[in-house]
Structure 1
Amino acid sequence: MRALVFTGPGVVEIREVAEPEVGDGEVLVHVVTSGICGSELHGVRTPGFRVPPLVMGHEFAGRTDDGTQVIVNPILSCGACDVCGMGLRNVCRKRQIVGVHRPGGFAERVAVPRRAITAPPVELDWTAAGIVEPAANAVHAWSLAGAPAGARVGVIGAGAIGLACLQVALSGGAAGIEVADHAESRRAIARGLGADAAVTELTGEYDVIFDAVGAAVTRERSLALLRPGGVAVWLGLAEAVAGFDAAGLVRGEKRVLGSFAYTDADFATAAGLVGGWDLSWVGTFPLLEGAAVFTTLMNGHSVPVKALLTP
């Protein structure tokens, strides 16, 4: 079968690979749509825990052998530790991720544990199905912030996660939402989705700020622009350095929350939301064009915001 394979630093290629072996407790998913994540672009540019050769792809949906539409939750936890027992299996110390630690959805078919698949509450079109995983990240971040209806919200970064945060905040009743991004094309998309303002840099004061970039400068801004007692939720992973004013955090009694992935409940909520979203910012491409699309995005092209590959 054909797959998009990460073969070395900065290189992805379409290759013929062996058919997946379906083990006990696993199911074969015929992939229909699989999203390219910013973490994968970074991981190919600067290899770390993604080790080539690897079929990546952790945002995907498809059908089982009997034709059932399924969405794959790629977080595989141990299910037995204290953290899993608290319902926080997304941060299980032993977690693995489909498309990182085992072959993922950039292929025609993939074997996954049966516990990783879920059928949406109603059958989704394939663009919406391919967006459930990134949307779940935004649902989780909104929940961590307290689902603050009536809040003044800032979003830093209008990539897929930032736009998902915007749409979740809109559905959650935020009083006003401003989005910051350096690309005018992405600012225009944010305005079209319902942002009250889309600017190069946030200004003013906010109750909640979502940092969907994760650079030292964006983390610093997310705290500097919070009202006293406000909360910054950090989703982005661009850099390891924080770079913020710790004294200002203390004196303003501000809070910083790290947000990684999602709970099972967040994933289910996202599956129920995305069918009603404007997804005009998502582009769909054949898997055979995947290497070119991936490389273009990896080299800084900002359109489309989210690319889905379709075997």
Structure 2
Amino acid sequence: PPGGPPRGPPPDEGPPMKALRFHRKPGRYAAAAVAGRIKAGSGASVGPISLRDVDEPTLPTSDWVRLRPRLAGICGSDLATIDGHSSRYFEPIVSFPFTPGHEVVGDLEDGTRAVLIPVLSCAVRGIEPLCRACADGRTNHCGRLAFGHLEPGLQSGFCESTGGGWSAEMVAHPSQILPIPEDLSDEAAVMVEPTACAVHAARQVATHGPLDTVAIIGTGTLGLLTIAALRHPTGGASIERIVATGKYPHQKDLARSLGADLVVAPGELGRVVRSLTGAWVLGDGADGPATGSDGQLTDGVDLVVDCVGTAQSLSQALSVVAPGGEVLVVGMPGHTSLDLTSLWHRETAIRGCYAYSRSDFEAAVSVVADADLARLVSATYPLSRYRDAIEHAATAGPRGAVKVAFDLRTAPRPTAVNPDAASTKDTI
């Protein structure tokens, strides 16, 4: 392995603490995959995740710090893992058992409140010289996610060595720590990590210069945050019109309040794009609205941001993007079957959009504060109610919610830090 000292035996651990742990248990994972197809979030009941007493994590090297989570969000990638839907692509860059949780605001031992930048890049792993991507500041493209003095892991929350936010304590490299302003609430701070993803997406959109119309597919957490980032000066995007799809009333209301000019039901997107662009329709849908399966539009929007990542959403994105346009995939996709004929014929580009840089994180703090994104935190739960929390997060849309998080502010900790616990009035 390139760089970094060899992994040795861990030193003596501290006292036990509560943590949610995900183990490598293929039978349980298969059961979660079956249960997850029947009911979203049910993998938490039958899969390989459980609440356990675990040892306090060890510091990989002397410059690492301890972070005691206050709030830790539940992300779509967490839900995909718990419900057995995660791609096997990640197998070489995950280590077991791991404690999930990469959307984290917490306290350092000196009382500093900070958010976690979870990417486990070369600097975090003690690898020198840095890989080409890390040297360029593109730590989200680091290719050494299984080397150095840490176990494999693309991020904290998927690595045995670091722990994760769904626990009383985790460890972090100093480069992963971003102190936050005192006037930023915990609920706002826990939105910084997903907002950094949205800022990264907005900055990719900005590389296209001024655009007439951008479509956002999906207005769950990522879609809403992407709208906010596209409309914020730090994103750098210049867009005349944002059209978004939303399934539920609260998603549509939030999308409008965050900057979408038009919010429509998913099945209406083709018709609306046809109207906005003056496109004609080819094929069986020539007498009706075009949605991608009942006719082909001759024109489309400049760029589509897919914040869902399913075969259906990607197909719809390709059906409404203009010839020569781009589909930016922000929602995590998996193994899928997709007809790419239109991509070839219309010279459309599909571009991935993963994670963020430290600069994206710093900008995200401003976006969160200015757009009042703390309001997207719909509910918090103690770790002891993890099954309820995961089910709530997995069914957030139909239940009128957006972001669900774990609240560790009153949880027992290995060492007391910031004993004045925050209010738990919004905790379920």
TM over 0.5: yes
Which residue does the alignment assign to 2:155? 97
Task: Give unpaired runs (5+ residues) of structure 1.
Answer: none
Q: Is 2:276 the counterpart of 1:276?
A: no
Task: Please identify the structure whose Cα radius of gyration is greater.
Answer: 2
Which residue does the alignment assign to 2:354? 260
Which residue does the alignment assign to 1:5? 21
**Counterparts of 1:194 and 1:144 in 2: how far apart (Å)?**
18
> Could you say what secondary structure the match of 1:135 adopts?
helix
1:272 Cα deviation after fit: 2.4
Matching residue within 122, 126, 134 for 1:84: 134
Matching residue within 182, 186, 196 for 1:126: 186
**Counterparts of 1:151 and 1:117 in 2: how far apart (Å)?**
38
Q: Is 2:306 the counterpart of 1:241?
A: no
Normalization by structure 1: what TM-score? 0.90
Amino acid at match of 2:364: A
CA contact (8 A) 1:57 1:99 kept: yes
Which residue does the alignment assign to 1:198? 263
1:98 Cα deviation after fit: 0.2
Q: Is 2:109 the counterpart of 1:65?
A: yes
The Cα offsets for residues 26-81 of structure 1, whole Å up to 9 and x where unpaired, read as 10111111110011101011165466643100110111111111111000112411
Amino acid at match of 2:18: R
Superposed, 1:92-171 pairs within 5 Å as 92-95=142-145, 96-102=154-160, 103-120=163-180, 123-146=183-206, 148-171=209-232
**Counterparts of 1:28 and 1:40 in 2: how far apart (Å)?**
22
**Counterparts of 1:159 and 1:57 in 2: how far apart (Å)?**
19
- Quick one: structure 1 residues 149 and 64, their matched pair in 2 at CA, closer, same or farther if it must change by over 3 Å? farther
Q: Is 2:274 the counterpart of 1:209?
A: no
275-284 or 265-274, larger mean C-alpha shift: 275-284
1:126 Cα deviation after fit: 0.9
CA contact (8 A) 1:231 1:256 kept: yes
54-63 or 286-295, larger mean C-alpha shift: 286-295
**Counterparts of 1:181 and 1:239 in 2: how far apart (Å)?**
22
44-53 or 202-211, larger mean C-alpha shift: 44-53
- Quick one: structure 1 residues 16 and 259, their matched pair in 2 at CA, closer, same or farther if it must change by over 3 Å? same
**Counterparts of 2:60 and 2:407 in 1: how far apart (Å)?**
25
**Counterparts of 2:203 and 2:21 in 1: how far apart (Å)?**
35
Which residue does the alignment assign to 2:5? none
Normalization by structure 2: what TM-score? 0.67
CA contact (8 A) 1:75 1:90 kept: yes
**Counterparts of 1:261 and 1:253 in 2: how far apart (Å)?**
26
From the two aligned structures, give the one with the greater strand fraction: 1
Q: How many residues align?
A: 310
Task: Give unpaired runs (5+ residues) of structure 2.
Answer: 1-16, 30-42, 124-129, 146-153, 274-299, 409-428
**Counterparts of 1:265 and 1:253 in 2: how far apart (Å)?**
32
Which residue does the alignment assign to 2:426? none
> Could you say what secondary structure the match of 2:252 adopts?
helix
Q: Is 2:109 the counterpart of 1:44?
A: no
- Quick one: structure 1 residues 133 and 294, their matched pair in 2 at CA, closer, same or farther if it must change by over 3 Å? same
RMSD of aligned Cα (Å)? 2.3
Q: Is 2:80 the counterpart of 1:22?
A: no
**Counterparts of 1:242 and 1:255 in 2: how far apart (Å)?**
17
**Counterparts of 1:206 and 1:69 in 2: how far apart (Å)?**
42
